[in-house]
Amino acid sequence: MKKAKAFRVFAFLFFQNPHLLAQKRTLHPTSAVLKFKKRYSTAEVNMAEFRLCAFSDEADRALEGQISALSRNGVSRMEIRGVDGKNVADIDVAAACEIKKRLDGNGIEVFSIGSPIGKIGIKDPLQPEIDRLSRLIETARVLGAEKMRIFSFYIPKGEDADPYFDEVGERLLRFTEAAEGSGILLCHENEKGIFGDTATRCLKLLDALPKIKGVYDPANFMQCGEEPIAAYGLLASYLEYIHIKDAARDGSIHPAGYGDCRMEELLTACAKNGHLCLTAEPHLKIFAGLAALENDSAEDLSRKYSRGFKTNGEAFDVAIRSLKTVIEKTGNTYR
């Protein structure tokens, strides 16, 4: 009876699992069951530990408020973009040293520089942007960051982006030359209105420029009419880290799990592929500096980013809590 029961278990597992079917050898039923359990244990396959990061300038324009927001949400990494009303590109080395000191004292590290580099028109002069990148690299090194977010230039409205590929590629190559030997990895983010606002054009850039990695933003893809999950599948092998904000099909931004970007499915895939660095980018309430970051009218900003929160801190807290909830639903952990 025991042998018959063991064989029935083995037969069920064998014929339900293509990996075992493909094996061209005879397996002892008991050993097959043990090997199956070892290989397909839920804990072994699904458990991953995500590392949480955030654009804390969405919680407060002041560094003190940003530190407070990160600390109360248990987040120890920031993607620095704005501090005390200044864009990170306008922070000098002396100010960066002071910021670094205050962050270190509170157990917070700068994971990446959320720079505006490349958010200029494709026809704008390039040298000033290279000079700005060089200054930002020095700032990044002072802050201890190893990554920097960049963009691939705004294309004139109404024009087809594809013919600009060579020019965009040449400009981004100049960026990589400026960063050579600095220890700073340049990471291209998909963004509305730039050359790399679709998955296929991002793929074309990242394939041609191996020294640049990708930052994947599902909401930006959704706002460009792309399917975020399909875009992730196309770009997965080129990605360095992930921005977390969710969007509905009408372009409005929502907490993770409340839009149409299929965040649970996305984070399950991220865990499988080892994309464990997640930067929360709430965009749930208009914050200081947003207008300078977005190529939208005031009316569009209000429609997309006003979710009824009383304060920026409240919106930030909800964004982090929602991200943690989605991670927990996938069966993974975070720190």
Q: What is the CATH number of the domain that holds 228?
A: 3.20.20.150
For residues 36 and 115, membership in a common domain is answered with no
CA proximity to 113, closest of 100, 101, 94, 131? 100
pLDDT band at 106 (very low <50, low <70, confident <90, very high): very high
pLDDT band at 292 (very low <50, low <70, confident <90, very high): low
For residues 303 and 269, membership in a common domain is answered with yes
Q: Which amino acid is at 53?
A: C
For residues 89 and 166, membership in a common domain is answered with yes
For residues 329 and 220, membership in a common domain is answered with yes
The mean-pLDDT minimum among 273-277, 307-311, 328-332 falls in: 307-311
> Which pTM does this prediction carry?
0.82
25 phi and psi, to 5 degrees? -150, 160
What is the arithmetic mean of pLDDT over 101-116? 99
What is the arithmetic mean of pLDDT over 26-54? 56
pLDDT band at 308 (very low <50, low <70, confident <90, very high): confident
What is the arithmetic mean of pLDDT over 12-25? 38
For residues 148 and 261, membership in a common domain is answered with yes
The mean pLDDT of the chain is 87
pLDDT band at 102 (very low <50, low <70, confident <90, very high): very high
Residue 28 pLDDT: 41
Does 41 have pLDDT greater than 90? no
Does 16 have pLDDT greater than 90? no
Range of the domain at 115: 48-334
220-272 tens-digit pLDDT: 999 999 999 999 999 999 999 999 999 999 999 999 999 999 999 999 999 99
For residues 12 and 117, membership in a common domain is answered with no
Sequence-distant (6+) residues with CB within 8 A of 37 are none
As a three-state string, the secondary structure of the chain is CHHHHHHHHHHHHHHHCHHHHCCCCCCCHHHHHHHHHHHHCHHHHHCCEEEEEECHHHCCCCHHHHHHHHHHCCCCEEEECEECCEEHHHCCHHHHHHHHHHHHHCCCEEEEECCCCCCCECCCCCHHHHHHHHHHHHHHHHHCCCEEEECCCECCCCCCCHHHHHHHHHHHHHHHHHHCCCCCEEEEECCCCEHHHCHHHHHHHHHHCCCEEEEECHHHHHHCCCCHHHHHHHHHHHEEEEEECEECCCCCEECCCCCCCCHHHHHHHHHHHCCCEEEECCCCCCCCCHHHHCCCCHHHHHHHHCCCCCCHHHHHHHHHHHHHHHHHHCCCEEC
Residue 285 pLDDT: 87
For residues 256 and 157, membership in a common domain is answered with yes
63-77 tens-digit pLDDT: 999 999 999 999 999
For residues 89 and 233, membership in a common domain is answered with yes
CA proximity to 79, closest of 151, 135, 146? 146
What is the arithmetic mean of pLDDT over 292-312? 61
The mean-pLDDT minimum among 13-22, 98-107, 119-128, 204-213 falls in: 13-22
Residue 221, CB half-sphere, CA atoms under 13 Å: how many? 29
- Count: domains in the chain: 2
What is the arithmetic mean of pLDDT over 14-21? 38
169-207 tens-digit pLDDT: 999 999 999 999 999 999 999 999 999 999 999 999 999
What is the arithmetic mean of pLDDT over 95-108? 99
Count of C-beta atoms within a 10 Å radius of residue 210: 9
Q: What percent of the chain has pLDDT over 90?
A: 78
Residue 197 pLDDT: 99
For residues 28 and 92, membership in a common domain is answered with no
For residues 104 and 177, membership in a common domain is answered with yes
Q: What percent of the chain has pLDDT over 70?
A: 80
∠ at Cα 280 (274, 283), nearest 5°? 145
For residues 61 and 171, membership in a common domain is answered with yes
C-alpha 179/C-alpha 47 separation (Å) is 35
Which residue carries 């930030």 as its tokens? 316
Top pLDDT among 36 and 225 is at 225
For residues 29 and 178, membership in a common domain is answered with no
